[in-house]
Structure 1
Amino acid sequence: MRPHSDVIVIGAGIVGAACALSLQKAGRQTLLIDAAQPGCGITAAGMGHLVALDESAQELDLCLYSLGLWRQWVEQHPGIGQVVQSGTLWVAENEQQRIEAEARAERLNARAWQADLLNTDQLRQLEPSLRHGLAGAVRVAGDSVVYPPIIAHHLAQELQMFGGEILCGQRVMSLHDSSGKTSTVLLENGQHLSAQYVVVAAGLGVANLLSDMPVFPRKGHLAITDRYPGRLQHQIVSMDYGQHAMTADGLSVAANIQPRATGQWLIGSSRQDGKTDTKVSPIALGAVLQSAIRLLPCLAKMQIIRAWAGLRPASPDGQPIIGEHPHRPGVWLAAGHEGLGVTTAFATAEIVKDQITGQKPAIDPTPYAPSRLLKESINESAYG
Structure 2
Amino acid sequence: MNSFDVIVIGAGIIGAACAVELQALGRKVLLVDALHPGAGVTAAGMGHLVALDETDDELDLCMLSLARWDAYLSRKGGLAEHAQCGTLWVAEDEAQMAQAARRVHRLAQRGWSASLLSGAELARIEPSLRKGLAGGLRVERDSAVYPPAVARELAARLVAQGGATRFGTQVLRIGAHDMQLASGERLTAADIVVAAGTGVTSLLPDIPVFPRKGHLAITDRYPGRLAHQVVSMGYGQTEAGSDALAVAANVQPRATGQWLIGSCRQDGVAHAEVDPRVLAQLLRSAIALLPCLAGMTIIRSWTGMRPATRDGRPIIGRHPVLGHVWLAAGHEGLGVTTAFGTAQLLADLMLGRPASIDPTPYSPSRFIHAPAHAQA
Give the TM-score range, shorter chain: over 0.9
Could you tell me how far apart the structure 2 residues matched to 1:39 and 1:146 are?
Answer: 13
Q: Which of 204, 207, 217 is the equivalent residue of 1:213?
A: 207
In the other structure, the counterpart of 1:147 is: 146
Cα drift, residue 201 of structure 1: 0.2
Task: For structure 2, list consecutive stretches of 5 or more residues without a partner in the other structure.
Answer: none
Q: Secondary structure in 1 aligned to 2:138?
A: strand
Q: Which residue of 1 aligns with 2:131?
A: 132
TM-aligned CA deviation for residue 76 of structure 1: 2.0
* Contact kept? 2:89, 2:138, Cα under 8 Å: yes
Cα distance in structure 2, aligned partners of 1:356 and 1:194: 17
Count of residue pairs brought into register by the alignment: 374
Aligned 8 A contact 2:97 2:136 in 1:
yes
String of CA shifts for 1:230-258, please: whole Å, max 9, x gaps. 11111000001011411110000000000
Aligned match of 1:180: none
SS at match of 1:374: coil
Instruction: Indicate yes or no: 2:315 matched with 1:321.
Output: yes
Distance in structure 2 (CA, Å) of the matches to 1:78 and 1:249: 40
Evaluate the alpha carbon distance shift between residue 304 and residue 6 of structure 1 in structure 2; reply closer, same or farther with a 3 A threshold: same
> Given the two structures, how large is their TM-score scaled by the length of structure 2?
0.98
**Residue 265 of structure 2 is aligned to residue 271 of structure 1:** yes
Q: Percent identity over the alignment?
A: 57
Q: Name the CA distance, whole Å, in 1 between partners of 2:341 and 2:19.
A: 13
List structure 1 segments (4+ residues) > 2 angstroms apart after TM superposition.
Answer: 378-382
* Match of residue 362 from structure 2: 368
Q: What letter is aligned with 2:174? A: L
Matching of residue 291 in structure 1 with residue 322 in structure 2: no
Distance (Å, rounded) in 2 between the aligned partners of 1:31 and 1:236: 39
Matching residue's letter, 2:157: E
Distance across 1 between alignment mates of 2:286 and 2:335: 23
Q: Which moved more, 1:284-293 or 1:350-359?
A: 350-359
Matches within 5 A, 1:18-167: 18-167=17-166
The answer for unaligned runs of 5 or more in structure 1 is 178-182
Deviation at 1:379, TM superposition (A): 7.3
Q: Give SS of 1:19's match.
A: helix
Which AA in structure 2 matches 1:373?
Answer: F
Question: Is 1:245 matched with 2:239?
Answer: yes
Paired residue secondary structure (1:254): strand
User: Aligned AA for 1:197?
Assistant: D
1:203 is matched with which residue: 180, 197, 221?
197
SS of residue in 2 equivalent to 1:310 = strand
Report the residue type matching 1:146 in the other structure.
V
**342, 348, 351: which is aligned to 1:348?**
342
Q: In 2, distance between residues paired with 1:120 and 1:249?
A: 33
Q: TM-score, normalised by structure 1?
A: 0.96
By how many angstroms is 1:78 displaced?
A: 3.5
Gap change, CA 1:380 and 1:355, over 3 Å in 2 = closer
Structure 1 Cα separation of the partners of residues 95 and 160 of structure 2: 51
Paired with 1:192 and 1:381, the residues of 2 have a C-alpha distance of 26
Output one character per residue of 1:182-234: Cα deviation in whole Å (capped at 9) or x when no partner. Answer: x1010001110000000000001100110100000100000000011111111
Q: Structure 1 residue 381: deviation in Å?
A: 7.9
SS in 1 for 2:368: helix
Query: What's the C-alpha RMSD, in Å, of the aligned pairs?
Result: 1.2
Partners of 1:176 and 1:331 in 2: how far apart? 8
CA contact under 8 A between 2:321 and 2:371: conserved in structure 1? no
Counterpart Cα distance in 1 of 2:295 and 2:77: 34
- Aligned partners of 1:227, 1:151: CA distance in 2, in Å? 23
